Structure 1
Amino acid sequence: MSAYIKRLLASSAAATFSLMPLAALADDNSIVIGAAIAESGWMAPYDEGPYNAVKLAVEKINANGGLLGKTLVLEKADTKTEVAGAAQAGAQLLDAGAQVLIISCDFDMGAPTALVANQKGVISFSTCGADAKLGNHAIGRYVFSLASEAEANGSLLASWSVHKQGWKTAYLLTDSSFEYTKSLGRGFEAGWAAEAGEGTLIGSDTFRNDDASFSAQITRIKALPEQPDVIALAGVTPGFPAIVRQFRAAGITAPFVTGTNADGDGWRDSVPAENLSDFYYFSYSSARGDDPRPEIGVFNADFLAATGERPQTGQAVTGDSAVTAWARAVERAGTFDSDAVLAELEKFRDEPLLAGLTTFTADLHITAGRPMLAVGYTNGEPAAIGYYSPAKRDYIQWWD
C-alpha cells in the first residue's frame, strides 16, 4: 500500500469520528444512491455536469418502473473539495443507507470517498476521474471509473496524429502539476514511439499550470533544427490556453493535440480566434449539437429541458453512464448485492454507454483504449470530426 493511500486512510478514519448524520432514507421499497460530490470549492464545476446527468438517469429509471421493483432515491453530500470532507460525505451517505456511491471526477478528491465505501464493501463510481488508481489499482476492488484511462488517452492522441493526420515528428509539453497531465504525457510519449518510431519525438518539455510565461519553452522549440509536425499538450486550464496564446503570438504554427482537458467553452475567449486553428482535443461526446451519435442529441436535449442549459462539456455523459452501468449490472445479477453486481460489471466488454464503449475486467475497473470523439478548432470555432478507435486506427461507428 502506497504512502499516499495510507495518508488517505488516516484522513478518512479521522473524518468519520464527527459526522453530522443524514436521515436514514432507505426502506423496503427503495434503494439509495449516494453522490459525494463537490458543491463548493474548485472541484464543484467539474462535478456539476455529471451530477445533473446522474439525476436524469435516476429519474428515467424510476419513470420506467424502478430497478428490480425498487424506487431509486438519490441523496448527495458536499465534499467541499476537501480530502477530509470527501471521506465524511461518503460516511454520511453510507450511514443513510446508500448501496452505491457516485464520487468526484478526480482521484485526489474522489479517492477518500471510495476508500470509505470500499471498506464497507460498497461499489463506488467516479464519473470522469481518469487516473488508473480509480480503477481498482490502489483503493480496492469495489471502485470503478467511467472515464477513459489517461495514459491510454495519451496513446490515442499519438495514434490519431500518425494514422489520420500523417504527422511524422512531435514535441511533447507536459504540465508537471497533476497526476492526470503526467499520465496523459507518458501515454503520448509511449504511443508516439510505438506508432511513429523511435527518434521521431524530437523534444519534450515541462511547465507548471500557474506559470505566467512560457518564453523558455518557446525559445527551446524555436531553436530546434526543424519544427515539429505536431505539439502534444498535456495540460489543463489556465495553463494550456496560455501556452496556445503565447506560442501562436511567437509565430509557432504547429498543430496542437490534447485530451478531455480542452473540452468546454470556458477558455475559448482567452485565445484570439485567429490564433485558434489546428487545435484538436478528444472527449466522450460533444455538447454543442454536432455529435454524430443520435443518443447524445437526445441526452443534450433532456439535459437542457431539466436544467435550463446544455451541458458545459461532453464529459457530463459520464454521470449517466455511471448510473446506467450499475443498473445494468444489477439487472443481470438479479440482486443489489455488491459482490454479485461487481461480477457482472467485470463482464463488460465494449458495453455501449453514453460515455462510449466501456470495458471492465477483474484487473482493471477503468476503460483503456475506448474510441473517443475528435474535435477540431478552425478560427476559434470547434467542430466534431468523428470517433477515433486506436485499435482500428480509424474513425468508427458502433451505434445505429
Structure 2
Amino acid sequence: MSLRQFAVASTAVLALGLSVSGCQKASDASGGSSGSSDAKTPWTIGVVMAKSGFLGPVDTPASNALRLQAAEMNNSGGIDGHPVELKFFDTQSQLAKYAPGAQQMLAAGVKALVVSCDYDTASPAAQAAQAKNVVVIAPCVGDPIFGPQGGLKIGFSMGDGTPGEASIMAEFANSKGWKNAVLLKDTTLKYTQNQCDIVAKRLGQLGDKVIASYNYKQGDDVTETVSKIRAGKKPDVVFNCGYSPGGATVAKELRDGGVPAPIISGFGMDGDFWTSGVPGLKDYYVVTYVSKNGDDPDPAVNKFAAAYKTKFGAAPSVGSFVTGAATLQSLKVAYGDAKTWDGKKITAAMEAFKDVPTLAGPTSFSPALHINVKRPMSVLEVVDGKLKFVERRTPQQVVDAP
C-alpha cells in the first residue's frame, strides 16, 4: 500500500524527531556507525529508508527505534559478540533512489537490509537485496504481499497484517453489541479498501449487518454522505477505513453532521496529531500496534517509548515504533539459529518463528506468510484529545480480503 497522504499529515509533528535523529552516531551513505563495543568486528545492517519527503514521518518512528535498539543490544554484547552498526541511506522518499541506495549498501557488505514501511516504494530495494541473497525487512508494511505472495522470497515485514487488524476491528464492535454498521471506505489506497472489505466479511460471519456502505477519497467533502447516514437506519457503529488527513475530516463531519455513533478505525488513524482538528471528539476507537502514551500494559513498551522521547525530544508519533526494535530483535534470534547471514538460511530460521517475543509482540512466520496476521493488537480510544489504552485483542478468526 502507499502511505503518501498519511505521511504528509504528520510531517510537522515529526519534524523535531527527524532533525534530532539525523545527529545521532549512525551513518548515512558516507559512513559511520551506531554502537560502541569493539569486542569483535562490527556487523553492519543497511537501512534504506526516508528521513525526509512524504515517507519521512512514516519511517521515522521505526528508524529511530532501530537506533535505540542497536545501542541497547550493543550494551549487552550485540549479535554473537559483534556490535551492530547501522548504515543509513536517506531516499528522501524518492522511488528512483531505492535501488541505488540498496546497491550501495550491498556493495558495502551489509548483513541485512531494512527498507521503508511502504511496499510499492521499497520494492526496488527489496528486490536488489534478494538478488544478492541478503535478507530484507520492512518494519511496518501491512500488506501480506510483502513476502512470497509478492515474489519476495527472503523478505519479511515486522508489521501487523491488515487481515488481522480488520478482523479485530469487527470483533471489537461485536463484543460491544454494536450490530448495525455503516462503512466509510477511502478508496485511495488498497490498504483502506481491503480494511473495509475484511470488516464487512467478518461482521457477516459474526451475524452483524452492514446497513450502508459509502466510498470517499482523500480530500472529499462527505457532508452529503453524512446526511444520507442520518436519513437512514441509525447505525450502532461507523467504520472509518481511512487515514489522515482525510480520515480526520470524515470524523469531524460525522460529528458536526449529528452522527453520534461510535467510530472505529485501524492503524491509518493512529496518533494524536489529528485529534485537535475535531474538538471534543468522543467514542472514537483505533486498532493499532501499541499505546505510545505510556499506558500500554507492556512495561517494556512504556520504557522504550520513554527512552525514545528522552533521546529524540518527542514521543513516537504512532505505535509502529515498536517494529523498529522488533526488526533487530528478530535478526538476532534468526542469526542465533542460522549461525550465518546467508539470506536463504536466515529466511529458513525466520520461517520457523513461533511466537518469538519481540517489542511488537509475539512474532510468527511461515514459508507462505512473512507477516504477522494473528498478533495481538491494541484498541485505543480518543479521550481529551489523546489516545488512551482500552484493551489488547487477538483476532478470534483472521479473514482475508474477499
TM-score, normalisation: structure 1: 0.87
Structure 2 match to 1:267? 274
How many angstroms does 1:220 deviate by? 2.4
Structure 1 match to 2:223? 215
Could you tell me whether the CA contact under 8 Å between 1:146 and 1:366 is conserved in 2?
Answer: yes
Q: Secondary structure at the residue paired with 2:362? A: strand
Q: Which runs of 5+ in 2 are unaligned?
A: 1-27
Q: Count how many residue pairs are aligned between Structure 1 and Structure 2.
A: 366
Amino acid at match of 1:105: C
Which structure ranks higher in relative contact order (CA pairs < 8 Å, sequence separation ≥ 6)? Answer: 2
Q: 1:71 to 1:378 in 2, by over 3 A?
A: closer
5 Å-filtered alignment, 1:248-287, equals 248-273=255-280, 276-287=281-292
5 Å-filtered alignment, 1:11-26, equals none
Matches of 2:388 and 2:30, distance apart in 1:
45
How many angstroms does 1:376 deviate by? 1.0
Amino acid at match of 1:153: E
Matches of 1:101 and 1:43, distance apart in 2:
17
Structure 1 match to 2:90? 78
5 Å-filtered alignment, 1:92-103, equals 92-103=104-115
Matches of 1:336 and 1:62, distance apart in 2:
18
Which of 129, 133, 142 is the equivalent residue of 2:145? Answer: 133
Structure 1 runs, 4 residues or longer, greater than 6 Å off:
none
Which of 236, 239, 264 is the equivalent residue of 2:243? Answer: 236
Could you tell me whether the CA contact under 8 Å between 2:184 and 2:240 is conserved in 1?
Answer: yes
Structure 1 match to 2:17? none
5 Å-filtered alignment, 1:103-118, equals 103-118=115-130
Could you tell me whether the CA contact under 8 Å between 1:22 and 1:92 is conserved in 2?
Answer: no
Structure 2 match to 1:382? 387
1:116-169 CA distance string (max 9 Å, x none): 111211111111110111133113111100111113211110011102x11111
Which of 168, 177, 185 is the equivalent residue of 2:188? Answer: 177
Structure 2 match to 1:203? 212
Structure 2 match to 1:301? 306
Matches of 1:257 and 1:167, distance apart in 2:
11
The sequence identity of aligned pairs, in percent, is: 31
Could you tell me whether the CA contact under 8 Å between 1:176 and 1:207 is conserved in 2?
Answer: yes
TM-score, normalisation: structure 2: 0.87
Could you tell me whether the CA contact under 8 Å between 1:152 and 1:187 is conserved in 2?
Answer: no
1:237-291 CA distance string (max 9 Å, x none): 1111101111111101111001111211110111112xx1110001111111111
Q: Secondary structure at the residue paired with 1:98? A: coil
Q: 1:128 to 1:21 in 2, by over 3 A?
A: closer
How many angstroms does 1:102 deviate by? 0.9
Which of 335, 339, 347 is the equivalent residue of 1:334? Answer: 339
Which of 164, 167, 176 is the equivalent residue of 1:155? Answer: 167
Matches of 1:74 and 1:238, distance apart in 2:
32
Q: Secondary structure at the residue paired with 2:380? A: strand
- Root-mean-square deviation (Å): 2.0
Q: Is 1:36 aligned with 2:48?
A: yes
- In terms of mean alpha carbon deviation, does 377-386 or 323-332 score higher? 377-386
Amino acid at match of 2:326: S
Matches of 1:320 and 1:182, distance apart in 2:
29
Could you tell me whether the CA contact under 8 Å between 2:142 and 2:157 is conserved in 1?
Answer: yes
Structure 2 match to 1:4? none
